[in-house]
Structures are given as structure tokens and as C-alpha cells.
Chains A and B, each alone.
Chain A
Amino acid sequence: MSVLETQAQKVRDSAKKLLADATAQTVIGYADEGVDGLCVPVFITDVKDVGRLVWNRRSVPNLASYLIGRKGKTAIVAKPCDARAVVNLIVENQIKRDDVHIIGMDCPGMTDAAGAALHACETCQVNTSPVFDERIENAEVKPVSPEKRDAERGLDENLARFTKEMEKCILCFSCRQACYGCYCQTCFMDRGVPDWHPESPDMGAKMLYHLGRAMHLAGRCVECGACENACASGVDVRYLIREVTGFVKELYGYDTGLSLEDQPAMLTYQPDDREVGFLGGEAHG
């Protein structure tokens, strides 16, 4: 049996036990029922259905957002990035620690239909869950070399790259909907008063949306890549957010979703914090 299949069997065994002894009312995991081998989210509430649960390199969707608003204790099959999302949802008081049972999967990285590593997985630094109730190990999982952040560009160059990337964007907002962190009841883009959304999918609207979203995700992105996986147009949605995440790490030494005790970077202030983020503060660099 392959290491992945062993992990999958452990997921099923665990789900069976959790449901049987009523530790959890629901197990959220993956089923192999999508097009092109994509695993789709599945909610298992009955022991007799645990056979539907799978785990393979196409277990792509981030399941964390399904925890918001759920009643009863829920177990979640969590890739390390999903687990980070769960941790951050707990830190941000969207869910309670006691309501969730994290089945932390050691993750070999996910692939697309053709078997190529997904963009976010290529440079992933966290391949075991930082917080879990049980860990399902995979001895073959090895750390990847650290992601090199894009060299800083000038304003013009940055704008040119943004413009080129965003030509493909059709402003469907699926990146937002797929994002665990975009849980606002009403997104700023959907507000009627003031009316932010220009409707016409021009560069101004795209800039407003993507820059707005990048700022809202400062210190909150867990680098799961759900946004770019959701994009049907092939936009590198995450590149701006990667930059912002990089700044947050560099300025405040903060990584999202690694610890339940951490205070979110943007919700705390230390006297020695760099003031780059402040209006009228020092210039970056």
C-alpha cells in the first residue's frame, strides 16, 4: 500500500471512531467525485459512509471555511495549510477550539489534473500541521527550500506586472469565495453605500478589488493557494498577497496560523514595531 493510501485508510479509521464514539457529529473530508480526479469536499455524518473518504494528491480544496457557522463538533481532514486556516479562524474568534477536531495530514503537496505540483505547493514551507488533535504521518514528506520572494520592483514595473496579470481577470470573485479568510458577511466590494464596485470589469475595478483584498489579508493568508486554484482564467491571484505576507513576516516576524497563542499581526502593537504600515510613517526599504 502506498504511503498516501495508508494515510487515507487512517483517515477512514479515525473518522469511523470519531463518529462512533460521538467525538464528532460530522467529519469534513475529501471524496474522489470530481471531474479530472479532483477531490471534492464531503460531509460525513454516518459511520456507514466513511468509505467515501479519500486522501490523495488531488485533495485540493481548503475545507476550513466550512467550519464557520457549523453546529456541533466537527472533525476536519486538514492539510497543513488548512490547519493553519483553522488556527487563524480560532484566533480570529470565528470558531471555537473545542468545536473542532483537527486531523492533521502530513502533506506531500497537491497537483493539478496533469500531475504538476500546484503553484502554492511548490514553495510550501509548512508540510505538517502546526496544531492538531491527531496527526496522520507521511514519512516521505520533506521540507521544501524556502520561497524566494520576488525582488522588489519599482512602481512602474509593479503596475505593468499587475496590469498584465489582471488582463485575464474577469472579476467573478471566485478567489474571494474560495478564500478561508474572506468570511466577511458583506464584502467591501458588495456594499451599496458607499458603492465601491464599479461593475465594469476594467483595470480600475480590478485594482480596487485585488489591492483591497490583499490588504485585508495582511497577516492572515495561510498560503493554501485556494484563490489561484479557484481561478478559471489562470490569474496568479496570490502574487500581491505573497508580497504582503512577506512584508508582515519581515516587519513583525509573524507567520499566520502557526500557534493558537499568537495575536494576529494586524491586531497588536509593539513599541518597537516598524512604522512602515502607518500613514505618514517611514518609507519602506
Chain B
Amino acid sequence: MSNTENPYVPLKARIQKIIQETSSPDLDVKTYRLSFEDGRSLEFMPGQFVEFSVPGIGECPFGFASSPLTKDYFEITIKRTGKVTDKIHTLKEGDFVWIRGPFGNTFPVEKFEGSDLLFVAGGLGLAPLRPFILYALDDTNRKKYGKIDMLLAARTSSDHCFAYEYDEWRAKGASVNLTIDNPEPAWKGLVGFPHNLIKDMEFDFSKLYAFLCGPPIMIKFVQGSLKEMGMPIDRLYTTLEMRMTCGVGKCGKCNIGRQYVCVDGPVFCMAELAEMPTEY
């Protein structure tokens, strides 16, 4: 349920910290660390999202990017793309924004217990996966999951989000593989697209769940590669983005067939998506 009785009413939140995630001129991504002014914490699970308002400019949905186990604050990672995000990017630490949520379904994290996890992310696609990554890597949960592999793609070496955290993820037993589209002089990671590189990775498909998030074209091709390698699509998950207004299944914008991405999603199993109209 929403944090307030009326799901349309947002609460005031303070920007505690702003982290510049990328430094390419045409890809401006910042992470905003927020906490509510009245001290309450936002209970959410991986996959969910909030409606983020700048009064007078507008409201946009964004997925959580932080760990659901962190109670003091939550983080939202935002790329500068339009009217609202332009404005958000001008805000400074200490400024206020308005938040309502959490909304949407969650990754069924308990269903994946005892299995290996593979995260494939393209660019900003890592943000909505990060809550689940941090949840699974947390000391209280780590032993519930098997091998944790990641293939994180970005256009250039300066476009990887949350790069400051990768060593910590590795220390907790995750295999973090990075790739960029084209070779760069000092780059030590992989070069190329994830759907090719994934073929060189080894998995135990009898107990693997995979989570794909990124540009639609990347999802399409990575899904194809994994299927070829023997992965059943009912073990593939993704999260969708749609234009939304209300977040509560009323405004009629985000539906794909009868399903509303805001309440029936944003997390979908690929087997489910295969049965849905391709209108996203």
C-alpha cells in the first residue's frame, strides 16, 4: 500500500546527498539519496517504484535504486531526459522534493531462494536491479542464494552506474563483469555487447534465474542468447518502463493489454510478456 491514506498525496522529502553516476556529456545520471521530513521510513521491496514530484513542474515514476534493508534513507537514480528530470538535475543537497509510493509489484525474491542469480544490465538498467542485488548480497540473505553473476554493460567506461560499489559486491561473493561497447586504452574489462559475451559465461541452467534490464534491444538479444544456451524463459525476469500518471491503476496510460504496469508490474516474467501484446 501507499505511504499515505490517499495514494495521490505525496510526502515531503529532503535530498540528503547527490551522487554523480556518469560523466559522459550526453548521459547525465545522478543518484538522489532521500529521507522523509517527518522521519518515517519507506518500506519497499526490490522492483517497486515511487512517484517523484517537483511541484509546479510535474511528477514522474522512478524505480528504487537502494537496498530495501536500509531504513534511514532511499535512493532514486535519475537520467536527465525531459522537463521534470531537467529540473530535478538542478536541485541541490538540502532541497526538498515530494514522494508518494511505493507502488507496483516486486521481484518475488523468496521464490529465487536456493537458486543462482544472473543480473544483466545495460546502462541505467542497473538502477532498478540494484535493490535486489543489495538485498541478495546482504549478510542476512547471502546464504539463501547460490552463485551471483553480473554482466554490466555501458557505452563507455565512464557510463557505469554505481561503479564505486563493485568492489564491495565482489567482496561479498558476486562475480561482477563489466563491458563497454568499444575498446578504450586503459580499459581492463570486457568489450562488446552482452548478448555475445554471455555465451562465454558458464551457468547451471537447472538452478538459474536471470534478471535483464536495459534498452529494449539489449533485452531482446540477451534473451535470445540465453534461450539458445538452454535457459527456459519462465526463469527470465525484466522490469518495464511506461509513461504513468497515477501509479495506482486508474489513469489508463501504462496498460499493456489488460495489465497495468503500475500495479501488475513493473516486474514481469518473460514467459508472461510473451503472452502479452508487444506494446511497450
Interface of A toward B, CB cutoff 8 Å = 192-193, 195
On chain B, the residues within 8 Å of A193 by CB distance are: 83
In angstroms, Cα B82 to Cα A192, docked, is 9
Number of A-B contacts (CB under 8 A): 4
**A192 / chain B contacts, CB cutoff of 8 Å:** 82-83
Across the interface, name the chain A residue whose C-beta is closest to B82.
A192
Top 4 closest pairs, chain A to chain B, by CB: A192-B83, A193-B83, A192-B82, A195-B83
Q: Chain A residue with minimal CB distance to B58?
A: A195
Contacts of A195 in B (CB 8 A): 83
Task: Please list 4 pairs of residues, one from A and one from B, whose beta carbons are closer than 8 Å in the complex, sorted by A's number.
Answer: A192-B82, A192-B83, A193-B83, A195-B83
Residue of A nearest to B86 (CB): A193
Q: Which residues of B approach A to under 8 Å, CB–CB?
A: 82-83
Task: Please give, as numbers and ranges, the residues of chain A lying within 8 Å of B83 by CB-CB distance.
Answer: 192-193, 195
| A40-B82 Cα distance, complex, nearest whole Å | 40
Q: B57 — nearest CB in chain A belongs to which residue?
A: A195
Q: How far is the CA of A193 from the CA of B86 in the complex (A)?
A: 12
State the CA gap A192–B243 with chains docked (Å).
14
A193 to B82, CA, bound (A): 9
Residues of A close to B82: CB separation below 8 A: 192
Bound CA span A171–B21, Å: 43
Say how far A62's CB is from chain B's closest CB, in angstroms: 31
A104 and B30 CA atoms in complex are apart in Å by 61
Which residue in chain B gives the minimum CB-CB distance to A192? B83
Rounded to whole Å, the gap between the CB of B109 and the closest CB of chain A is 38
Q: How far is the CB of A199 from chain B (nearest CB, A)?
A: 11
Q: What is the chain B residue whose CB lies nearest that of A195? A: B83
Chain A's closest residue to B83 (CB) is A192
Q: Shortest distance in angstroms between B154's beta carbon and chain A's nearest beta carbon?
A: 28
Within the complex, the shortest CB–CB distance from B55 to chain A, in Å, comes to 15
CB distance from B45 to the nearest CB of A (A): 33
CA of A192 to CA of B57 in the docked complex: distance in angstroms?
11
- Distance in angstroms between the alpha carbons of A11 and B82 in the assembled complex: 51
Tell me, rounded to whole Å, the shortest Cβ–Cβ distance linking A193 to chain B.
6
CA distance A195 to B57 in the complex (A): 10
The complex places the Cα of A192 from the Cα of B83 at a distance, in Å, of: 8
Chain A nearest Cβ from B246, distance in angstroms: 16
With A and B bound together, what is the CA distance between A195 and B82 in angstroms?
12
Measured CA separation A193–B81 after assembly (Å) = 13
For residue B107, give the distance in angstroms from its CB to the closest CB of chain A.
Answer: 33
Q: CA separation between A193 and B83, bound complex, in Å?
A: 8
Give the CA-CA distance A241 to B234 in the complex, in Å.
59
Q: Closest approach, in angstroms, between the C-beta of B253 and any C-beta of chain A?
A: 15
Query: When chains A and B are docked, how far (Å) is the Cα of A202 from the Cα of B101?
Result: 31
Q: Which residue of B lies closest to A193 (CB)?
A: B83
Nearest CB of A to B277, in Å: 25
A195–B83 Cα gap in the complex (Å)? 10
> CA–CA, A192 to B87, complex, Å?
14
